[in-house]
Structure 1
């Protein structure tokens, strides 16, 4: 792997960007952007043209410990160029804005990584905009509501990633229950305070699952849609990023996470017809996932330790209040 400090060689990134530009300006610099635990995200400065962003998938860019990576099922590791391209194609076809793909290069000579050159959306991310100018951010949130409604209205023949690489059998709620119990077991192994209430938490999760009625109706979900995964386009429109996890699944799974991340702004994002029993089960599952997942990353030497520790503490507070 050709990388600098665990990152892809900037020269390789500039070379790919230059091929994508095809003479429309000259690539003159590379800046690594924050975020991303499964791919590298780099802005390439362009002299005489507009900047571009390069996504890089490769071992040096993947920060999850190998033992913590899920390989099967609806929550399998959302990593790779094909998942990105498949999701972008389906979302764009539904009228959902994502960064436009300008160039794709597989197995780049030298670093041996996959890369995609995409447009550099000029605006900030929604999280930053809300912190800086809440009124302006709320206007974007209001435009995001119809996007979520459009996605919820799309129907898949089964659950799984939109690329078709993962198609499964079994009810979504059963899969979520099994995963929640695994996350509880792993979290309790790493956190004595969770171990102390493990029995009560397990009862709460199992009882929530028992209230869910069978259903076979799947909508399109992003899977991890927080304000940090929404950029603001030049016209103030929401632009979804980190879309590799996009799949057909119970829409309630998406909306539990969206409510958690957007807080009181969620009233502008709720869609009609959500199942309360599923919301109850998925709330437990999401919270347990947000304990176990960060704890796994911390074992892998993730740099932003305080951020992950804060996520875990927030979820432990919720769990403590519900047992």
Structure 2
């Protein structure tokens, strides 16, 4: 049985961050996180009604048996205070709104894990706002499009996560994506008979698509996993990016493939001209395979929302197979 955060220890952390007059009146662990625990604290005796606490304790990470990470791989698991703070600093310097940090600590003196106390953004997610207030959602979506343009125009000659962006990688972005997709294909084929039957054709298709991509020497700044559930809305209606630990310089086409999948009918507001169609074609198939292998790998462990992950894997398996059919 997993033992999540000790609420009293985290409450002390909150009081250290906000002062001795702060009183904790309620604590709730929020659902959905797979690599860190996210806790909402309701408060009295302070100017803010609540805060969020992130805990990167080992017991909060549901990913079973993650393979040894290559430090140069931008897709290596991004977890902990170092990538979080590096991403926060980078976005703050660009004027991109993220939750304000009240306290960040990796000393283990306050708590036996990396922790951060951050602003509790009050307006819920953009995903929820699409259902409840389409006008406000459209305004936030337009502002998000501008935010993404700022990020994607922030260029680097090297690709990689912002906390590891030190030197030129030995392989190209497209080769990195291809290698990852081939691994995901192998993993998915072990767990899904339909993918196994189509694996030779899928492997050939990935190689063919990768062979069409021409070299590139500059990379934009991307969130890497930006769905409408990773965009909060503040009291002024402005978008606030969360789950930023994977922030990286990479091909912006990778971001746009994910945006198109997650924003669906709302994606046209985020679309931009000039994207490389050959990269989009490769990255779409690679993304579909990632969204089969990843959820199925997560289900090897004890992740609680199993129906959600099974549904994601099933949907993306069908979509991946459809990409093999002549259009």
Q: TM-score range by the shorter chain?
A: over 0.9
In the TM superposition, residue 244 of structure 1 has moved relative to its aligned partner by 0.1
Q: How does 1:8-47 map to 2 (within 5 A)?
A: 8-23=5-20, 25-47=22-44
The 10-residue stretch of structure 1 (279-288 or 23-32) with the greater mean CA deviation from structure 2: 23-32
Residues 68 and 296 in structure 1, CA contact (< 8 A), matched pair in contact too: no
Q: Which residue of 2 aligns with 1:150?
A: 150
Partner of residue 285, structure 2: 284
Q: Tell me the residue number matched to 2:91.
A: 91
> For residues 251-290 of structure 1, what are the structure 2 equivalents within 5 Å?
251-290=252-291
CA drift at 1:136 = 2.7
Q: Is the 8 A contact 2:52 2:118 kept in 1?
A: yes
Distance between the aligned counterparts of 2:289 and 2:68, measured in 1?
16
**Which TM-score applies when normalising by structure 2?**
0.94
SS of the residue 1:142 aligns to: helix
2:51 alignment counterpart: 52
Paired positions, count? 320
Gaps of 5+ in 2: none
Aligned to 2:79: 79
State the alpha-carbon separation in 1 of the partners of residues 68 and 37 from structure 2: 17
In the aligned structure 1, how far is the partner of 2:194 from the partner of 2:162?
A: 38
1:155-304 matches, within 5 Å, as 155-164=155-164, 167=167, 168-304=169-305
For the residues of structure 2 that align with 1:139 and 1:200, how far apart are their CA atoms? 43
Following the alignment from structure 2 to structure 1, what is the Cα–Cα distance between the partners of residues 149 and 300? 37
Kindly state the Cα deviation for residue 24 of structure 1 after the two structures are TM-superposed. 5.2
Decide whether the 8 Å contact of 1:145 with 1:269 is kept in 2. yes
Please report how far the alpha carbon of residue 288 of structure 1 lies from its aligned counterpart in structure 2 after TM superposition: 0.4
- What is the DSSP-based 3-state SS (H/G/I as helix, E as strand, rest coil) of the residue aligned with 1:116? strand
Determine the C-alpha separation between the residues in 2 that align with 1:129 and 1:250.
Answer: 29
Contact 2:145 2:270 in 1 (8 A): yes
Given that 1:87 and 1:243 are in contact with CA atoms closer than 8 Å, whether structure 2 keeps it comes out as: yes
> Structure 1: where are the runs of 5+ without partners?
none
Q: Secondary structure at the match of 1:35?
A: coil
